[in-house]
C-alpha cells in the first residue's frame, strides 16, 4: 500500500481527476489519492498506460476509472468531464498534471513545436479547469492544482515550456480570484528536478547533464515523485482551505542559487521521502548516477 503521511480516508468517496495519470508524477498522485479513499479518474492519451495504472490501484484496494482523452481537444475535454459526472455525480478535485516538452533552443523551435507544447502545458490545463468549473464545481465547490515547473529565471533550451508554465502560474492566480465566489480554490505546484520516468524521454546527449542536476540544488539530490504528490494532496485537502492562488515549489531550493555564490558542502543530508510503494528510479539514474 501507498505510505502516505496523510490521514486514512482523507478523501473518502471524493472524485478527483488526474491528467497525465498513466505515468510519472501523475501515476504517483493517483495512487496516493486512491489510497486515501478517493475515486480517481485517470486521464491520458494512451489507453494502455491508464489501464496499467488502474490495475495497480485495484490491486492495492483502491478505486479508479480510465478516460483516454487528448486534453488539447476542446470537445473531447467537454465530453470527458461530462462522462465523469455521469458516472460519479460529482467532481471534487482536479490535478492538471499532463504536460510535455522537448529540448531545443528558441531559435530552432518551429511554430508547430511551440504550439504543441503550449497547447499541452497551458491550453489543455485551462480547458480541463474551465470544464470542471462550469459542469461541476460552480455548483459544489472544489480544488484545482496545476502542475508547472521550475521556470523562474527562464528555461534555457526549454523556452516553449517555460512560457507555458509561466502562463499557467498566471492562470492559477487569476482563476483563484475569479472562482473563489464558487468555493473553488486554485493553486499550483512547481516541481524541480524530480527522479521520475519522464527523464527517460530525453535524448542520450542530455543524460549526463541530467545526472549532474543535483550539483546545482542546495539540498544536493533529486526529489521523489512522492514528495511532489504530498504537496499536491495537501493543496487538495481541507487543511489548505484558506490557500488559493499560490504556487508551492518542490525543488530543493534550486531557484535560490545565485551566480558567483559557492555551493556549500552538505553537512546533514535531507532524507528523501518516498511513500510510493511502486516507485522506481528512471533508467538513466539506475547506473549509480542518482545523488
Give the three-class secondary structure for 241. Answer: coil
Model pLDDT, residue 287: 65
What average pLDDT does range 38-59 have in this prediction?
98
What are the sequence ranges of the domains in the chain? Answer: 15-251
DSSP assignment of 47-113, as one string?
HHHHHHHHHHHHHTT-EEEEEE--TT-HHHHHHHHHHHHHHHS---EEEE-------B-GGG--HHH
> Is 129 or 269 the better-scoring residue by pLDDT?
129
* CATH topology for the 15-251 domain: Rossmann fold (3.40.50)
Residue 289 pLDDT greater than 70, yes or no: no
d(CA 166, CA 244): 17
Other residues' Cβ atoms within 10 Å of the Cβ of residue 198 = 18
Q: What's the chain's average pLDDT? A: 95
Quick one: angle between helices 47-59 and 24-35, nearest 10? 30
pLDDT of residue 261: 87
Q: Compute the half-sphere exposure of residue 95: CA atoms within 13 Å on the CB side of its CA.
A: 35
Retrieve residue 115's grid coordinates.
Answer: 504550439
d(CA 105, CA 117): 14
Residue found by looking up cell 492538471 in the block = 96
Position 260 scores a pLDDT of 87
Per cent of the chain over pLDDT 70 is 98
Give Cα 218 distance to the centre of its chain: 22
Confidence of residue 290 (pLDDT cuts 50, 70, 90): very low
Residues 85 and 56 sit within 8 Å (Cβ to Cβ) = no
Instruction: Output the pLDDT for position 291.
Output: 43
Segment 146-178, tens digit of pLDDT: 999 999 989 998 999 999 999 999 999 999 999
Q: Roughly how many angstroms between the first and final C-alpha of the chain, as a whole number? A: 26
Sign, CA torsion 33/279/229/172: negative
pLDDT of residue 101: 86
Residue written as grid cell 529540448: 103
Amino acid at each position: 500500500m501507498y505510505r502516505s503521511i496523510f490521514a486514512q480516508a482523507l478523501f473518502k468517496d471524493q472524485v478527483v481527476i488526474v491528467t497525465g495519470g498513466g505515468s510519472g508524477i501523475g501515476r504517483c498522485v493517483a495512487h496516493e489519492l486512491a489510497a486515501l479513499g478517493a475515486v480517481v479518474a485517470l486521464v491520458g492519451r494512451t489507453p494502455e498506460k491508464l489501464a496499467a495504472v488502474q490495475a495497480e490501484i485495484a490491486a492495492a484496494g483502491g478505486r479508479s476509472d480510465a478516460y483516454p482523452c487528448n486534453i488539447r481537444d476542446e470537445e473531447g475535454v467537454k465530453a470527458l468531464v461530462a462522462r465523469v459526472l455521469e458516472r460519479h455525480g460529482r467532481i471534487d478535485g482536479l490535478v492538471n498534471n499532463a504536460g510535455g516538452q522537448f529540448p531545443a533552443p528558441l531559435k530552432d523551435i518551429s511554430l508547430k513545436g511551440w504550439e504543441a507544447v503550449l497547447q499541452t502545458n497551458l491550453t489543455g490545463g485551462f480547458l480541463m479547469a474551465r470544464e470542471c468549473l462550469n459542469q461541476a464545481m460552480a455548483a459544489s465547490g472544489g480544488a484545482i492544482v496545476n502542475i508547472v515547473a521550475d521556470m523562474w529565471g527562464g528555461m534555457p533550451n526549454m523556452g516553449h515550456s517555460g512560457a507555458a508554465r509561466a502562463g499557467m502560474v498566471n492562470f492559477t492566480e487569476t482563476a483563484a480570484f475569479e472562482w473563489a465566489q464558487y468555493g473553488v480554490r486554485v493553486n499550483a505546484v512547481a516541481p524541480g528536478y524530480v527522479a521520475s520516468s519522464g527523464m527517460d524521454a530525453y535524448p542520450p546527449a542530455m543524460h549526463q547533464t541530467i545526472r549532474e542536476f543535483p550539483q546545482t540544488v542546495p539540498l544536493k539530490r533529486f526529489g521523489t515523485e512522492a514528495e511532489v504528490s504530498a504537496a499536491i494532496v495537501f493543496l487538495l485537502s481541507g487543511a489548505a482551505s484558506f490557500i488559493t492562488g499560490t504556487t508551492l515549489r518542490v525543488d530543493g531550493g534550486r531557484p535560490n542559487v545565485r551566480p558567483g555564490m559557492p555551493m556549500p558542502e552538505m553537512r546533514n543530508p535531507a532524507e528523501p521521502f518516498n511513500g510510493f510503494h511502486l516507485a522506481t528510479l528512471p533508467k538513466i539514474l539506475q547506473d549509480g548516477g542518482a545523488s
